[in-house]
């Protein structure tokens, strides 16, 4: 699957946002701190927020299918 640039100013891709969510990032402020996404012109903010929401939801759904540690 090819990466799609979400934030052109800081070269942040959808893959980078999904990776950040998988590593525990859940808020947009955390995403900005980690990636620099949408901290320049802000044109990508709505797309970045949606991508993060989707990635967090996907990460949570995957975690519910994993067995609980004994």
Helix (H, G, I), strand (E, B) or coil at 35: helix
> pTM of the entire structure?
0.85
Q: What is the pLDDT of residues 8-63, one digit of tens each?
A: 999 999 999 999 999 999 999 999 999 999 999 999 999 999 999 999 999 888 76
pLDDT at 57: 94
Output helix, strand, coil percentages for the chain, rounded to the nearest 5: 55, 5, 40
Q: Enter the DSSP assignment of 43.
A: T
């Amino acid at each position: 699957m090819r990466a799609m640039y979400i934030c052109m100013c800081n070269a942040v891709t959808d893959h980078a946002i999904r990776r950040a969510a998988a590593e525990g990032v859940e808020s947009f402020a955390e995403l900005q701190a980690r990636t620099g996404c949408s901290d320049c012109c802000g044109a990508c903010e709505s797309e970045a927020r949606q991508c993060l929401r989707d990635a967090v939801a996907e990460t949570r759904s995957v975690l519910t299918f994993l067995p609980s540690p004994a």
